[in-house]
């Protein structure tokens, strides 16, 4: 595979999977200690990666769960954010400015803080009440963070007896690193073609529903806009027909992500509409990839992880094709802002 280290990838994803037991222990301790709600507080792209876990709890658990912006909470606070809150704060670098500021506020509040970082010797790597370190870099962090946040959600549901299949689900998730590597291998022959479709337009509409919507939002915003300077319009499939559809015409690229959860029909609606008006509809469907040994329940949970691992292959080809390395920035961490 182009510019890819298989051993490194497996080590990172196995590292994420290995955190399941400890995450479960910490969540159980916090809930036994009287925790009353949970906040996912990420900044930027990593916040998008928390959304599938947030949605899982929001829709399938009675435990109050929030997803908010640290930059806003530092200013306003929240009546729901108290000493009885569990806070999940992810940051690959461990140094994200807004999250570091939020951490200081959380110390004053007395909430139980779980930090998920790629580097331990950092403010967030040292500052959490419970620190989960799994080294990763931009090209391997999506799967890692998706998986860790999913373990948090599943552990909450286990404690509250809202999921009967916890042990079986977690056991299946332990096999995911090797399965993802096979997904990458199977997609590699198509990755360059997919990348060419992205390189062939200077504007793309990205859309999806359910737990793969964050994958569309992340890829459009954090990869194409930030790392490739390509303009995108991410829009949730639920909102596609309330404004964005008027932008669809011949030559307009629509990138549609399809998952395997209950919200798949939202994507199918877009898929039925778009080809009538544009000749540039591209569909990426997690259902197209073999994941031997995974149940339908788990396949639905990991759809965004599967799409993330495929899109990494697209990015690897795209940066070569456009002669624009993914690490190239104009402003991000280069100028004061």
Render pLDDT for 52-65 as a digit per residue (tens, 0 to 9). 999 999 999 999 99
Q: What is the pTM of this model?
A: 0.97
Pairing outcome for strands 281-285 and 253-258: parallel
At residue 245 the predicted structure's pLDDT band, cuts being 50, 70 and 90, is: very high
Q: Considering the domain 6-173, what is its CATH architecture?
A: 3-Layer(aba) Sandwich (3.40)
Q: What percent of the chain has pLDDT over 90?
A: 99
Span 62-84, average pLDDT: 98
Span 165-187, average pLDDT: 98
At residue 34 the predicted structure's pLDDT band, cuts being 50, 70 and 90, is: very high
Domain 6-173 and domain 176-321, same fold? Reply is: yes
Contact 126, 67 (CB under 8 A): no
Domain chopping of the chain, boundaries: 6-173, 176-321
Residue ranges in 160-295 assigned as alpha helix (H)? 166-173, 176-199, 213-218, 226-228, 264-273
Contact 57, 49 (CB under 8 A): no
pLDDT score of 110: 97
Span 168-174, average pLDDT: 98
pLDDT score of 240: 98
Strands (E), 99-244: 112-117, 130-133, 203-208, 231-236
Residue 121's alpha-carbon distances to 63, 92, 125, 127, 206, in angstroms, are 33, 12, 6, 10, 36
98: enclosing H helix or E strand: helix 97-109
- CATH number attached to the domain at 176-321: 3.40.50.10490
pLDDT score of 70: 98
Q: What percent of the chain has pLDDT over 70?
A: 100
- 197-237 pLDDT, tens digit each: 999 999 999 999 999 999 999 999 999 999 999 999 999 99
pLDDT score of 260: 98
C-alpha–C-alpha distance, residues 32 and 313, integer Å: 42
pLDDT score of 165: 97
Span 255-275, average pLDDT: 98
Angle at 121 between CA 117 and CA 122, to 5 degrees: 65
Q: State the chain's mean pLDDT as an integer.
A: 97
Please classify residue 11 by burial: count the beta carbons closer than 10 Å to its beta carbon, then call 0-12 exposed, 13-18 middle and 19+ buried: middle
Contact 242, 248 (CB under 8 A): no
pLDDT score of 3: 96
Span 248-258, average pLDDT: 98
At residue 315 the predicted structure's pLDDT band, cuts being 50, 70 and 90, is: very high
């Amino acid at each position: 595979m182009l510019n890819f280290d298989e051993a490194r990838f497996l080590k990172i994803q196995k590292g994420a999977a290995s955190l399941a037991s400890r995450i479960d222990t910490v969540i159980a301790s916090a809930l036994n200690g009287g925790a009353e709600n949970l906040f996912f507080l990420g900044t930027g792209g990593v916040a998008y990666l928390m959304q599938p876990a947030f949605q899982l709890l929001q829709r399938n658990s009675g435990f109050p769960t929030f997803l908010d912006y640290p930059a806003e909470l530092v200013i306003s606070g929240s009546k729901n954010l108290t000493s009885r809150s569990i806070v999940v704060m992810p940051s690959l670098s461990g140094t994200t400015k807004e999250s570091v500021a939020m951490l200081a506020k959380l110390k004053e509040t007395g909430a139980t803080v779980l930090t998920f970082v790629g580097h331990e010797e950092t403010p967030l790597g040292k500052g959490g009440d419970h620190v989960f370190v799994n080294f990763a870099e931009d090209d391997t962090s999506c799967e890692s963070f998706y998986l860790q946040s999913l373990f948090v959600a599943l552990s909450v549901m286990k404690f509250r007896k809202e999921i009967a299949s916890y042990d079986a689900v977690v056991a299946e998730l332990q096999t995911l690193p090797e399965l993802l590597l096979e997904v990458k291998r199977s997609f590699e022959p198509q990755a360059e073609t997919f990348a060419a479709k992205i390189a062939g337009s200077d504007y793309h509409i990205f859309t999806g529903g359910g737990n793969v919507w964050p994958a569309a939002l992340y890829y459009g915003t954090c990869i194409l806009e930030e790392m490739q300077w390509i303009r995108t319009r991410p829009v949730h499939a639920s909102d596609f027909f309330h404004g964005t559809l008027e932008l669809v015409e011949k030559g307009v690229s629509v990138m549609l992500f399809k998952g395997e959860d209950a919200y798949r029909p939202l994507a199918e609606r877009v898929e039925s509409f778009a080809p009538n008006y544009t000749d540039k509809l591209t569909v990426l469907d997690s259902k197209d990839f073999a994941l031997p040994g995974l149940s339908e329940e788990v396949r639905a949970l990991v759809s965004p992880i599967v799409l993330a691992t495929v899109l990494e292959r697209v990015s690897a080809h795209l940066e070569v094709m456009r002669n624009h390395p993914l690490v190239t920035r104009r402003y991000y961490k280069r100028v004061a802002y």
